[in-house]
Structure 1
Amino acid sequence: MKAKRSSCVLVTVSLAALLIVSMFVAGCTSNGTTSTVATPATQTPAGAAAQTETLTLTGSTTVLPIAQAVADAYTKAHPEANIQVSGGGSGVGIQAIINKKVDIGMSSADVSAAQKAQDSNMNIITIAHDGIAIIVNPANTVQSISLAQVQQMYSGNITSWSSLSGAGVSNSNNQIVLVGRDSSSGTRTYFDSSVMKGVNDSMSMHEDNSNGAVLQEVAQTPNAIGYISIGYLDDTVKALPIKLANGTLIAPTVATVKDKTYPIHRDLYMITNGQPTGLANDYINYLLSPAGQQIVVAQGYVALNS
């Protein structure tokens, strides 16, 4: 009996000693002072995807097709980049930069002194050139127009196509339907400064919120006249050559915008708060590269160095 009791005591003591050692080792591992093996939660698997970085752009619907096409091309090579592009108009894009709501604002009009005063750190980057085309419905027989006539129409002083020689549609109603852009539009801002020259737009003008909306309304309205970026031109409307004072007709094309013979031409911009960094910097550098400028051309605009 004594032999058995001694054996039991020995086993019990051995188990207790083993338990104490185990607890000591566990304590050393948990406080990190002894163990050097990372837990599974802190290990990075080989070949893991890079962390997603987001870039946000908003503003001009003229610049939007360029911005989206560049984003699509960039993300093909950099799938970790999440680039979000939205419209709203140049005014929206500039204000979003002033309020630091986005990474890049897009504008098709010059930034005003008042807007610059709200953000002294504003960085304005020219990314392409563009022209504003005067468009009518294909049913209209008008073949050209002067900027003086356009101004007279949009001011409400000319209200009928019958007032223009050779103009009109095949119905008894020749009342001009004016189609323009809303107040946040950079295209509207440029049109008012370069064509209207301080003359107020007629209250009868339909205000659309994008180039695409103007294009669609003119395409569907026989008596309409509108203005859009040359990047949006297609065969659903007729783009009118501008008749200069000497009688020369200049059509709105990439070539005439490039050589600046077309009278309604402008620059397109992207705007950042200070010098761009990270993904914003990479995106803009790609846009300004030969590959990016080819995308500008493919979208129907004029590249910077073409």
Structure 2
Amino acid sequence: MVFSKKRRLAYLASTALMVMSLATACADKKGGAAGALQVSGSTTVAPVAADAAQALKADGLDITVATQGGSAGGISQLASGQISIAMSSKPLADENKAAHPDTDFRPVQIGADAVGVIVTQQVADGGVKDLTAAQVRGLFEGKITNWSEVGGPDLEVFVYDKEPGRGTREVLDKYLYGEEKPPPPPESGNFAIVGGNLETRNKLKSTPGAVAPLSTSFIEGHDDLQAVTLGGIAPTPENIASGTYPMSRPLYFLTDGEPEGKAKKFIDYVLSAKGQALMTKHGYLTLEQIGK
């Protein structure tokens, strides 16, 4: 094929542009220099990530934090190359690795948290301060329909459960069912599926007889909501750090391969003293508190 000088220059320019675009896409996936650093996933981890992103703006870093699909959504987006860092409030599972064999998942723990069985103050004041695992199963399976059945007020139970794949939901399922598959949701007008932590908290506040699994940090400063003890064990920092509280969980960032550029700077910041102070600010435990 014979090109004129103009066409040849245009061809070379477009080819160079295409190569640069491909290089940029690769750099973006690893958190390189081009474009905003994309971080997405767990609504539990998001407040820490958002504060870290704000702090790093002073250094000229452009960072976007989103929460589409919770932990499972973040892991999926990371595997498809849509983001550079996934936020997860659950450990990476074998099924995640099997579903995305071409992704070199690299988890970095940034702290720890507790999932609470959260009830309204009306329920707590009515006598529900502690629940056994069997009672929690009965509530979430729709077998216990009135709080009076567990020593509480004569008030209908309304369950707000989390979407499958959410870290909070998986922590609850593991506590209730171990390695067994949980049953399907009950067919009840008093049962609904919710997404993120803020939505869950708002639903709890709007429903007098509500119960839901929720990060305990999200009810700090909200005196109208209470975390019940589970088998007499409270979600205190000491019990979370020791693993005595049965619904403790690690919090993670995940990358595809070793983090580089912006991604590394962002993760290093959260692991630093200033970044770990953000864990405390949002009610989570630091790596030092859990002996990591």
| TM over 0.5, shorter chain | yes
Q: CA deviation at 1:120?
A: 4.1
- TM-score using structure 2 length: 0.79
Does residue 278 in structure 1 map to residue 261 in structure 2?
yes
Match among 149, 162, 167 for residue 186 of structure 1? 167
Contact 1:133–1:230 (8 Å) recurs in 2: yes
**Deviation digits for residues 196-254 of structure 1 (CA, Å, limit 9, x no counterpart):** 443314343311111111111111211111110122113231111122xxxxx222233
Distance across 1 between alignment mates of 2:166 and 2:201:
15
Counterpart pick for 2:46 among 39, 43, 64: 64
Equivalent residue number for residue 220 of structure 1:
206
Q: What does the per-residue CA deviation read over 1:41-67, in whole Å, with 9 as the maximum and x for residues that have no partner?
A: xxxxxxxxxx88521101111111111
Residues 79-110 of structure 1, C-alpha deviations (whole Å, 9 max, x = no match) = x2111000121111000011011010111112
Partner of 1:82: 62
Mapped to 2, the partners of 1:116 and 1:239 lie a distance apart of 33
Q: Percent identity?
A: 30
Which residue of 94, 98, 103 corresponds with 2:79? 98
Measured in 2, the distance between the counterparts of 1:150 and 1:261 equals 18
Instruction: Please say if 1:202 is aligned against 2:186.
Output: yes
2-structure distance, mates of 1:95, 1:120 = 10
Question: Comparing both chains, which one has the higher relative contact order based on Cα–Cα distances under 8 Å and sequence gaps of 6 or more?
Answer: 2
Once residues 52 and 110 of structure 1 are traced to their aligned partners in structure 2, the CA distance between those partners, rounded to angstroms, is 29
Quote the residue 2:142 is aligned against. Answer: 156
AA matched with 1:168: P
Q: Deviations over 1:262-306 (max 9, x none)?
A: 111011111111000001001101111122111111110011112
Once the two structures are TM-superposed, the CA of residue 157 in structure 1 deviates from its matched residue by: 2.0
Instruction: State whether residues 133 and 175 of structure 2, in contact with CA within 8 Å, keep that contact through their aligned partners in structure 1.
Output: no
Q: Measure, in 1, the Cα distance between the counterparts of 2:80 and 2:139.
A: 37
Structure 2 residues not aligned, in runs of 5+:
1-32
- SS across alignment from 2:48: helix
Q: 2:157, 2:211 within 8 Å by CA — same for their partners in 1?
A: yes
Q: Secondary structure at the match of 1:135?
A: strand
The superposition leaves residues 127-146 of structure 1 with CA deviations (integer Å, 9 ceiling, x where unpaired) of: 11010011111111112111
Task: Give yes or no for the alignment of 1:143 onto 2:126.
Answer: no
Task: Give distance in 1, aligned partners of 2:161 and 2:278.
Answer: 27
Partner of 1:168: 153
Query: Amino acid of the residue matched to residue 115 of structure 2?
Result: I
Q: Unaligned stretches of 5+ in structure 1?
A: 1-50, 244-248
Q: Aligned-pair distance for 1:185?
A: 1.3
Give the match for residue 7 of structure 2: none
**Matched pairs, number:** 244
Q: Residue 143 of structure 1 contacts residue 241 of structure 1 at CA under 8 Å; is this kept in 2?
A: yes
Question: For residues 260 and 217 of structure 2, what CA distance do their matches in structure 1 show?
Answer: 29
Q: Displacement, 1:155?
A: 1.4
Q: Report the equivalent of 1:241.
A: 229
- Equivalents in 1 of 2:166, 2:275: separation in Å? 25
Letter in 2 for 1:58: S
What amino acid is the match of 2:153?
A: G
SS in 1 for 2:121: coil
